[in-house]
Each structure stands twice: as C-alpha cells, then as structure tokens.
Amino acid sequence: MSILVNKHSRIIVQGFTGKEGTFHAEQMIAYGTNVVGGVTPGKGGQMHLERPVFNTVEDAVRQAGADTSIIFVPPGFAADAIIEAAMSGIKVIVAITEGIPVQDMVRAKAYISDKGVRLIGPNCPGIITPDEAKVGIMPGFVFKRGPIGLVSKSGTLTYEAADQIAKAGLGITTAIGIGGDPIIGTTTREAIELFMQDPETEGIVMIGEIGGGLEAEAARWIRANGNKKPVVGFIAGQTAPKGRKMGHAGAIVGGADDTAAAKMRILAENGIHVVESPAQIGAVMARVMKG
C-alpha cells in the first residue's frame, strides 16, 4: 500500500502551460501518473498535452474530479495557489516552487491548518509511489517498488537513497521529499507517522540536514511509540560551518542541537540506525531488515 498518492489519484498541475509545468507534466504522464488536467488562468477550455486546461482549481475539481495538485507557480503567487487548491477541496498539495516568501507561507499554512489538507513542500522534489504515480520532479527510473518508506529534506539525496535501497535488493513503498524551507507543510515526524501506519512499509529511511529540530522531533516520537519499524537515518551537512546557510533556506546551524553531529547523536539515542554516508544507506537498511 502507498501513502498519499497512488494510481487512483486524480492529479492536476497548477501552472500547467508554463515551461516548468509542461516539462514535468510530460514526465509525469510518461511515467503513467493519472494527470487529469491542469490549471492556467485565462486558458480554460484549451487542451494541453492532450489534457484539459481549467481556469481555476475549483473548475478542475468539479469537472475532472481532481483530488491532488502539484504546483509550478512563480514564488510570488505560489502561496495563493496553495490556498486556492485547499479552498477548492484538493486533499494532497505538492508545492515544488522554491523561494516562496516566508510571510506568504505563514499565511498559507495557517489557512490550510483546519482544512484536512496534506501539503508537501514547498521547495521539494515531490512524492513518488513507484509504478503508480510520480507527483514531482524526481527521475522515476531510480525508484523501484519495495517495502521501504523514504522521507527526505533533500531532493538529490532522495534519489541517491532510493538507488542504494534498490541496489540492496529492496525498494520503496513511497518516497516523500518534504522540502528544505524554514516553513513547510508536512514535517519529518508526520511523514514517519504515515509510514508507521502503512502495513506494507516494513522499514523507513529518514534523511535530514543541519538546521531546525524536525529530525530530533521525529526521533523522539519514534522511540516514544515503541520503535515499531527499523529506521535508518542520515544527516547531511556534517562539515558545514556554523551560521552559514547551506543550499536550503532552513539549513543553517543556529544552536548546539542544530549541528549534524548533535542530530546524529539524538537519532542514535532514540534507536535509529545512523549512517555517516549516504552510500551506506542501502547496506545498513538491508542488514537491519534481516533482524
């Protein structure tokens, strides 16, 4: 069983006819993802990539039965796109856009908080359930079906981990790139909870980075709930200097517990199998799965 998206998800692309929306929608469709249309204001009624274009998300929900959206909208308009999707009844929203103003995200997150919406991102690679649905920008061929859930702050490390897991003879139930911005929708702990509840996910890989407390929160939750499934953890940024942002807006060491070393220690103290290099993820996961 997958989490969040599967072959039955009815997916729309906000920013459908733009350059990024077009390119990645083509890739998603080629993968076999059930893309039922897209939204570009002012172009409703047209066809694009052999799918209908709608003026609003509400139109896409009403006419195409959309329940999932992926957003390729410029940063200044992306928060409004998230709010529009939630307002229209979309239940899973994947915001790919990088550089959304923090104040805009505060507003968007507050709006969706009581709408029963699952937001992934922003500034993320998206979600993939191998052989069923690719709702994101990841290279689909890397991901093989299997029993391991994957949650990551990093796009490229998501792909590397998936490759390592496949080479170890395992595979992925669903991979979630949660994004590296200071304010995101779904946290590491929330993604871990979904995997813990999924009967087909037998092990979990958690990839974090310096900055913030998401990994520590997840690790403590895992231990408090009995370490029910084996978790392998990796923290990026082990050589990062204090006080310098490293790629992601949220990846900045602000205190003693924000460093990679501190996070690795906290993970280990809470029963997570910590690796020092992403090249070890697959082998360690295979070993702990054997008990």
pLDDT digits (tens, 9 = 90+) for 112-147: 999 999 999 999 999 999 999 999 999 999 999 999
Q: Residue 81 above 60 pLDDT? A: yes
Closest CA to 86 of 63, 110, 115: 115
Q: Residue 279 above 80 pLDDT? A: yes
Q: Residue 253 above 50 pLDDT? A: no
Q: Residue 245 above 60 pLDDT? A: no
Tokens of 149: 């859930």
**Percentage of residues in the chain having pLDDT higher than 90:** 86
pLDDT at residue 212 in the model: 84
In whole angstroms, what is the distance from residue 59 CA to residue 44 CA?
9
In tens, the pLDDT along 176-203 reads 999 988 899 999 999 999 999 999 999 9
Closest CA to 78 of 103, 60, 113, 49: 103
pLDDT at residue 243 in the model: 52
Residue holding tokens 């993802």?
Answer: 33
Question: Domains of the chain, with CATH numbers?
Answer: 11-120 (3.40.50.720), 138-289 (3.40.50.261)
* The total number of residues written for the chain in this structure: 291
Report CA 208 to chain centroid distance, whole Å.
12
Beta strands in the chain (DSSP E): 11-14, 35-39, 47-48, 51-54, 68-71, 92-95, 118-120, 126-129, 133-136, 145-152, 172-177, 203-209, 231-236, 273-274
CB atoms within 10 A of CB 196: 18
pLDDT at residue 291 in the model: 74
In whole angstroms, what is the distance from residue 154 CA to residue 140 CA?
16
Residue holding tokens 């080479």?
Answer: 167
Q: What is the pTM of this model?
A: 0.92
- Burial of 237-259, coded b for 16+ CB within 10 Å and e otherwise, reads beebeeeeebebbbbbbeeeebb
Which has the higher per-residue pLDDT, 238 or 116? 116
Catalytic residue list: 248
- Burial of 72-86, coded b for 16+ CB within 10 Å and e otherwise, reads bbeeebbbebbbbbb
Q: How confident is the model at residue 239 (pLDDT cuts 50, 70, 90)?
A: low
In tens, the pLDDT along 22-75 reads 999 999 999 999 999 999 999 999 999 999 999 999 999 999 999 999 999 999
